[in-house]
Amino acid sequence: MKRLLVTNDDGIGSPGLLALAEVLTDLGEVIIVAPDRERSAASHAVTLHKPLRVEPAAVPISGVRAYITNGTPADCVVLGALAVIAGKPDLVASGINGGPNLGDDVTYSGTVAGAREGAIVGAPAFAVSVAGDEVTDYSFAARFSRRLAERVLATGLPADVFLNVNIPDLPPEQIEGAELTRLGRRRWDERLVKRQDPRGRDYYWLVGEPNHDGSASGSDVAAVLAGSISITPAHMDLTSHSSIAELAELTTDLL
């Protein structure tokens, strides 16, 4: 029986996580290892300086084993693979996140880090997000995730590659299709607010409005703005390969 490890960064109680776990029960044994609280924007942090706990959790899905941890999404995948499953999962699925993980978001996303850690432990992995502001319905995203999981289980993924999936928050009949994309740009404007606390000390809050650039065709941002599901194959290798030649003079007489 296939072992499917499910995690997220919105925490154990999030409806997207439960929707994802439930649809995957058709495909094998589903094991949830999820953070005990929201860890959105935890990126790929791992916990090195305090004990990690893994406790059984009750979820309203029959046949699913669920655990909470005090760690990050990346910790959850490590704990799931090494402590709970004690072996390589057949699939790691991270999500379903409530909100987009497009372009620059990928750097900060705990959801994406869950899938990236899946690739690190050697499992086929994907992250899935619904690209909406106030997501209330995960049913279509869950059904799509199940189809994608089935495909990935059958065919595998290239080594060190994982998938970052974003699904428009639209009624199913308005979804245009699914396409393979590259990461676009999604920056945050006016991202810092400075205020004073009741004791007169300054504090800062990271906020802001996302600034999509949907003009770059083939990007994840453009696909979702056009109503398509975006699937970005992402690689562990952050090297800018073209820059190795382009920056050749950087090292000339540098010593």
Which of 181, 186, 163 lies closest to 219, judged by CA? 181
**Selected binder of Mn ion within 69, 94, 97, 166 (CB under 5 A):** 97
User: Which C-beta is closer to Mn ion: that of 121 or that of 128?
Assistant: 128
Strands (E), 161-200: 161-168, 177-180, 185-189, 192-196
CB of 131 to Mn ion, least distance (A): 12
Which of 104, 137, 109 lies closest to 8, judged by CA? 109
Cis before 231 (ω within 30): no
CB of 109 to Mn ion, least distance (A): 7
Give the CA radius of gyration of the chain: 19
CB of 9 to Mn ion, least distance (A): 4
User: Which C-beta is closer to Mn ion: that of 85 or that of 96?
Assistant: 96
Output the furthest CA–CA distance in the chain (Å, rounded).
Answer: 66
For position 90 contacting Mn ion by CB under 5 A, the verdict is no
User: Which C-beta is closer to Mn ion: that of 3 or that of 39?
Assistant: 39
**Selected binder of Mn ion within 3, 7, 10, 73 (CB under 5 A):** 10
Query: Across the strands, what pairs with 231?
Result: 165, 180
CB of 97 to Mn ion, least distance (A): 4
User: Which C-beta is closer to Mn ion: that of 97 or that of 219?
Assistant: 97
CB of 10 to Mn ion, least distance (A): 4
Ramachandran category for residue 154: left, alpha or beta (phi over 0 → left; psi -120 to 50 → alpha): alpha
Distance in angstroms (rounded) separating the CA atoms of residues 87 and 80: 9
CB of 113 to Mn ion, least distance (A): 11
Number of residues that bind Mn ion (CB under 5 A): 4
**Selected binder of Mn ion within 4, 7, 9, 67 (CB under 5 A):** 9
Q: How many CA atoms lie within 13 A of 128 on its CB side?
A: 28
Residues in CB range of 179: below 8 A, 6 or more apart: 223, 228, 229, 230, 231
Q: Using CB atoms, what's the residue nearest to Mn ion?
A: 40
Contacts of Mn ion in 218-247 (CB under 5 A): none
CB of 162 to Mn ion, least distance (A): 17
Q: Which stretch binds Mn ion (CB under 5 A): 38-46, 114-122, 192-200, 240-248?
A: 38-46
Q: Which residues bind Mn ion (CB under 5 A)?
A: 9-10, 40, 97
